[in-house]
Amino acid sequence: MSLGGQEIAPALFLAPMEGITHSAFRRLLSDYGGYGALFTEMLSAGAFLQEKTLESPYTRRRPCEGKVIYQFGASGREDLEAVLRKVESLAPDAVDLNLGCPAPKIRAHGWGVSLAADFPRLRTVLERFRRAWPGTLTVKVRLGDDPERWREGFLERVRLFEDLGVDAMTVHARFSGEKLKRRPRWEEFAWIAARTRLPVIGNGDICAPEDLVRHREAFAPLAGLMLGRIAVVKPWIFRAFAGLPVEPPDHAELWDRHYRYLLEDMPPERAFGRLMDFTYYYAKNFLFGHELYRGVQKARTCEEIREAALRFLEAGPTPNRGTGVSFT
Ligand SMILES: Cc1cc2nc3c(=O)[nH]c(=O)nc-3n(C[C@H](O)[C@H](O)[C@H](O)COP(=O)(O)O)c2cc1C
């Protein structure tokens, strides 16, 4: 797909995921490839100004990562002009504004869906982004707040994105009040894509290439696809979507490589929670994966997490067969 004049091929994106899509995880994905671009986790626009961005484990990028899109959470109270000047030193392939996160702490900051719902503030923030950032600008949205009456408000925002020169839009096909366990509304992609000239990237529970075949009509109008949790469970999954050969992974080796990458990038006290988060998803590869996760939950140090994880993974655990993974 063309994103702000640059070609993203394949049109496959790693979703921004707080606690997960730091540079060490992006490095792990780059060992497998198959994607077109990787999103950072959401970066607080305010905190970004204090960050040593070329060294920070969240904002630094390695050449092996390929195209990286920096996502920001912003309310408009920040010095956005300074943020966007500063991000230039990282040479982002695009900058993305988070308009879809519904978590209470994010709403309380006035970011995510709170910004999306406040039309005048949204306009001002986007105008400032567009003026201060000459490169590719994207947004990530949900469908809206009210499942009964969302279409008009959604289109009003799409017109705003078009008028202000946003280059593409990711649609996570759920409403603000819907948890990630709820079935996403893929059937809305076609309705949305038919009403905008912006490239639409579809997101939400896209777990296997077979999904695209089984739901061809839903996915055909999309310019690109974004994968989130499934890429944590199977960091090699983009290869399958890109039609590249997929080797069965050595799970213990993969888990340990991610551990090493993480501890190269950040001190153990920061790596600890991130190892937990990664292992929670990685455990879904196995029939008795809850035992893996339960084992690491007892750990008090990164080294103990490693011991527990490798004990499970080196014992040849039974894989979850088929596409296997369900987030519902
Ligand atoms: C642990 C976690 C952290 C997330 N953090 C972010 C974030 O920082 N920014 C964002 O726009 N969405 C965030 N999301 C939402 C994902 O980007 C994505 O929209 C959602 O997981 C649905 O896609 P999936 O079914 O492929 O996982 C997060 C989701 C998860 C599970």
> Binding residue per annotation — 86?
no
42 and 180 both lie in a single domain: yes
224 and 193 both lie in a single domain: yes
Residue 311: both structure tokens together: 């004990």
CA distance 225 to 189: 11
Is the C-beta atom of 42 inside 6 A of ligand 1? yes
Domain termination residue (choose one: 193, 220, 242): 242
CATH number assigned to the domain comprising residue 180? 3.20.20.70
54 and 145 both lie in a single domain: yes
DSSP class of residue 8 equals -
Nearest to 36 by CA among 133, 116, 138, 113: 138
177 and 279 both lie in a single domain: no
Atom of ligand 1 nearest to the CA of 203: 23
236 and 124 both lie in a single domain: yes
Is the C-beta atom of 172 inside 6 A of ligand 1? yes
101 catalytic? Reply is: yes
Which ipTM value was assigned to this complex?
Answer: 0.99
Atom 5 of ligand 1, nearest CA residue: 17
Cα-based torsion angle of the residue sequence 270, 272, 273, 276 in order, rounded to the nearest 10 degrees: 150
Is the C-beta atom of 140 inside 6 A of ligand 1? yes
Cα-based torsion angle of the residue sequence 145, 221, 35, 270 in order, rounded to the nearest 10 degrees: 0
178 and 295 both lie in a single domain: no
159 and 274 both lie in a single domain: no
Domain termination residue (choose one: 242, 273, 301): 242
26 and 70 both lie in a single domain: yes
Q: Ligand 1 centre from 15 Cα, in Å?
A: 6
Domain termination residue (choose one: 242, 260, 282): 242
300 and 238 both lie in a single domain: no
Radius of gyration of the chain (CA): 19
In a domain, 288, yes or no: yes
Catalytic residue among 64, 101, 207, 302, which? Answer: 101
> Binding residue per annotation — 140?
yes
DSSP H or E segment with residue 151: helix 151-163
Is the C-beta atom of 97 inside 6 A of ligand 1? no
> Binding residue per annotation — 6?
no
178 and 300 both lie in a single domain: no
In a domain, 320, yes or no: no
Q: 285 Cβ partners below 8 Å, 6+ apart?
A: 233, 234, 251, 319, 320, 324, 325
Domain ranges, residue 207: 2-242
> Binding residue per annotation — 181?
no
* 285 phi, psi to nearest 5 deg: -70, -10
82 and 160 both lie in a single domain: yes
State which of 12, 14, 18 you would mutate to test the pocket of ligand 1, scoring each by most atoms of that ligand within 8 A of its C-beta.
18
Q: Give, for all 328 residues of the chain, the pLDDT tens digit.
A: 999 999 999 999 999 999 999 999 999 999 999 999 999 999 999 999 999 999 999 999 999 999 999 999 999 999 999 999 999 999 999 999 999 999 999 999 999 999 999 999 999 999 999 999 999 999 999 999 999 999 999 999 999 999 999 999 999 999 999 999 999 999 999 999 999 999 999 999 999 999 999 999 999 999 999 999 999 999 999 999 999 999 999 999 999 999 999 999 999 999 999 999 999 999 999 999 999 999 999 999 999 999 999 999 999 999 987 555 666 5
